[in-house]
């Protein structure tokens, strides 16, 4: 950022017309200034070294090495470098790879202009941000994976999960199911591992997110009272 508070931007895209359009958009925004452009990863890296921008806005797919390679090189040179990916790819895999490489944000080119502008300021502030469409796809993908993990539980594990979420102590669960407390403890560990959670608090949060508590409540209501 220069002395008057303007955020200096490096815009990277291999299409000149695209760069021109977004340069105009960014340039109209108070507090932003495109100080350099590049059409390739190699050129962008040289511009980064020369101009020291506050935020790099880059596409992923370019001729030669990709934007992912650029992110890695920039971050290797400067660990505090702030990179925002602005790409046509809405596949969540691209977003995951970009974030893994060190980008702070990922915005799809189908997003409204104001999302790009907001993302620039968020990334400059050191905060992670995804455009709404990418965030939704990633959330749905995660939810699907969590549902599949829940379905991987055996009937016994599901029953122990129900009793645990009901606040029953290990010894009482063992008595209900005619198994040893050690077996209950082992199943408790396996349940958390299968569901990808590290603590009982995370287990409860996951159960709420997947509406498991409601499902387990209905299951309990359908049981004969002498089996509870």
Please tell me if the domain spanning 7-133 has the same topology as the one spanning 152-227: no
Where do runs of H (alpha helix) occur along the chain? 16-27, 41-51, 67-77, 92-101, 113-124, 132-151, 155-165, 170-177, 181-195, 200-209, 212-222
Q: What is the pLDDT of residue 3?
A: 54
Task: Report whether 45 contacts 71 (CB < 8 A).
Answer: no
pLDDT at 40 over 60: yes
Write the CATH number of the domain with boundaries 152-227. 1.10.10.10
Q: How many CA atoms lie within 13 A of 93 on its CB side?
A: 1
Q: What is the pLDDT of residues 113-171, one digit of tens each?
A: 999 999 999 999 999 999 988 888 777 666 666 667 777 888 788 888 888 888 889 99
Sign of the torsion angle spanned by Cα atoms 24, 134, 41, 74: positive
Convert the pLDDT of each residue in 18-27 to its tens digit. 899 999 999 8
- Report pLDDT for 81: 95
What CA–CA distance (Å, rounded) separates 39 from 16?
A: 8
Domain regions of the chain by residue span: 7-133, 152-227
Query: What pLDDT, in 10s, does the model give residues 188-225?
Result: 999 999 888 889 888 888 888 776 665 444 344 444 44
Tokens of 83: 């990179």
| CB count in 10 Å sphere of residue 113 | 13
Percentage of the chain exceeding pLDDT 70: 87
User: The domain 7-133 is classified under which CATH number: 3.40.50.12160, 3.40.50.2300, 3.40.630.30, 1.20.1260.10?
Assistant: 3.40.50.2300
Residue 148 has what pLDDT? 73
């Amino acid at each position: 950022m220069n002395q008057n508070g303007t955020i200096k931007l490096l815009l990277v895209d291999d299409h000149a017309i695209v760069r021109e359009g977004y340069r105009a958009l960014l340039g109209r925004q108070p507090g932003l200034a495109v100080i350099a452009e590049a059409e390739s990863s190699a050129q962008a890296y040289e511009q980064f070294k020369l101009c020291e921008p506050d935020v790099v806005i880059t596409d992923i797919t370019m001729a030669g090495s990709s934007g992912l390679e650029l992110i890695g090189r920039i971050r290797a040179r400067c660990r505090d470098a702030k990179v925002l990916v602005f790409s046509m790819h809405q596949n969540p895999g691209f977003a995951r790879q970009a974030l893994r490489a060190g980008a702070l944000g990922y915005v799809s080119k189908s997003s409204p202009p104001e999302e790009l502008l907001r993302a620039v300021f968020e990334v400059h502030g050191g905060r992670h941000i995804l455009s709404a469409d990418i965030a939704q796809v990633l959330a749905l993908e995660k939810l699907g994976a969590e549902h599949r993990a829940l379905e991987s539980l055996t009937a016994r594990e599901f029953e122990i999960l129900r009793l645990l979420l009901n606040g029953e102590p290990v010894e009482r669960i063992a008595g209900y199911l005619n198994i040893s407390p050690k077996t209950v403890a082992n199943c408790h560990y396996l349940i958390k591992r299968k569901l990808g959670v590290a603590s009982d608090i995370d287990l409860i949060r996951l159960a709420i997110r997947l509406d498991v508590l409601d499902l387990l409540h209905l299951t309990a209501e359908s049981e004969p009272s002498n089996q509870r």
